[in-house]
Amino acid sequence: MVDCPRHTDHGQPGVTPLLAVLCQRIARSGPLTVAEFMATALGDPGHGYYTTRDPLGCTGDFTTAPEISQMFGELIGLWCADLWQRSGGGPRILVELGPGRGTLIRDAMRAIPGGSGPITVHLVEISPALRQRQRQTLRHLDVTWHTSLADLPQGPSIILANEFYDALPTRQFERARDGWHERLVGFGEEDGRLQFLAGPVIDPGPLIAPDILAAAQPGDIVEHSPARLDHVTALAQRLTAQGGTALIIDYGPAHSAVGDSLQAIRAHRPAPPLAEPGQADLTTHVDFASLADAARRAGACIYGPVTQRAFLRALGIELRANTLLASAPPARRRQITSALDRLIAPDQMGILFKVLAIAHPEAPVPAGFA
């Protein structure tokens, strides 16, 4: 057991309403895993980051690709239409996981040709604040909201997940000279502030690939996200049983690697991950190799991962940009050019972000993965 922080005045820097929740939990049960800390900081019903605010845009903490440019959502819409056309008849169920402000779905639906048939839109969203924003953005569409993947209607679906998996809780293990220790979050004895602690010696062998463990040196950290793997397994099982394709776009390595990728973002700038819990976005890099392996074991067919740069260029983003530029005034032309650069430039989102498709074995090969 540990004592609660000595300073609980919410007016002091770093003291947030969520800190009292964490204090009580740690005092009762001991230090939390990094995954448990992330889950509470992001999803606490009363004080969690995602459950209490709209975090997007200039006045928020970060900006996603659909908010950068309409081109992103439009190309995803055409990608969906192409897949539906080559899949033959049947229902058109379009799903987005963690849909932010609804911008991606709005732009995608605008770009889907009218001859694609009736489309039902389903959003998986836990945040009341973001649901309200989505209702405003998509007020002209018939939309159904759900709290989980399991709540979705049955049938072949196209499922979109843009910057969804990076926020799912992740465990961390650190190699020391005496072996591996799980990285925990607790309160320091001297100042009563949240800090990283080392748990007992543990064998992460059943969780981490042997080559990754062998490559680690003392002080190195490896990550494992049970929540991520469980979710993508359920997603793949749904697709193999009911048909359809999922498109996952997120940031992280194509191959599993050693490294501490836990990061906090606040006001579009990096922040200390343990400072002011509930007030900053927390994410870790998506291990695309482990996602692909989990989906493959569930019977799904895997395409990619490819870089966002390669994917969007294959879909024709530069052609779309040129079309928009042709009739745009000078100020708008600068915006379009800047947005294109942010989406596909190697030193922006182009290389760090990857795209992975998970599909029913008999589904058509999706565009962008030739």
- DSSP per-residue codes, 45-64: TTT-TTTS---BSTTSSB--
CA distance 273 to 263: 6
Paired strand residues for 162: 249
Q: Are 87 and 364 in contact (CB under 8 A)?
A: yes
Percentage with pLDDT > 70 across the chain: 95
CA distance 158 to 247: 8
Q: Are 193 and 55 in contact (CB under 8 A)?
A: no
Q: Judge whether residue 99 has pLDDT over 80.
A: yes
Least confident of 44-53, 109-118, 255-264: 109-118
Residues 123-141: what's their mean pLDDT? Answer: 95
Q: Is the peptide bond preceding residue 305 cis, with omega within 30 degrees of 0?
A: yes
Q: Judge whether residue 12 has pLDDT over 50.
A: no
Least confident of 111-120, 195-204, 298-307, 320-329: 111-120
Residues 238-261: what's their mean pLDDT? Answer: 96
Tell me, yes or no, if the pTM score tops 0.85. Answer: yes
CA distance 21 to 5: 12
Between the CA atoms of 209, 210, 214 and 217, what dihedral angle is there, to the nearest 10 degrees? 30
pLDDT at position 369 is 96
Local structure of 268: helix, strand or coil: coil
The residue type found at 331 is A
Least confident of 111-125, 194-208, 315-329: 111-125
> Residues near 23 by Cβ (< 8 Å), separated by ≥ 6?
4, 5, 8, 187
pLDDT at position 35 is 98
Name the phi and psi angles at 131, rounded to 5. Answer: -60, -40
Q: How far is CA 112 from the centre of its chain?
A: 24
Q: Judge whether residue 5 has pLDDT over 60.
A: no
Burial of 6 (0-12, 13-18, 19+ CB in 10 A): exposed
Residues 54-79: what's their mean pLDDT? Answer: 90
Contacts 24+ apart (CB under 8 A), 318-321: 320/71, 320/74, 320/75, 321/71
Of the CA atoms within 13 Å of residue 186, those in its CB half-sphere come to 18
Least confident of 102-106, 188-192, 250-254: 188-192
Q: Are 364 and 357 in contact (CB under 8 A)?
A: no
pLDDT at position 361 is 96
The residue type found at 338 is S
> Residues near 53 by Cβ (< 8 Å), separated by ≥ 6?
60, 129
pLDDT at position 55 is 82
Q: Judge whether residue 1 has pLDDT over 60.
A: no
**Tokens 């056309």 appear where?**
85
pLDDT at position 321 is 97
Q: DSSP string of 76-104?
A: HHHHHHHHHHHH-SS-EEEEEES-TTSHH
Paired strand residues for 263: 283
CA distance 126 to 230: 18
> Residues near 192 by Cβ (< 8 Å), separated by ≥ 6?
3, 4, 5, 6, 7
Q: Judge whether residue 3 has pLDDT over 50.
A: no
The residue type found at 109 is M
Give tens-digit pLDDT for 176-214: 999 999 999 998 776 668 999 999 999 998 899 899 999
pLDDT at position 115 is 62
pLDDT at position 223 is 97
CA distance 308 to 356: 10
Return the CATH class of domain 65-168+225-252+287-359: alpha beta
Computed over every residue of the chain, the mean pLDDT equals: 92
Local structure of 228: helix, strand or coil: helix
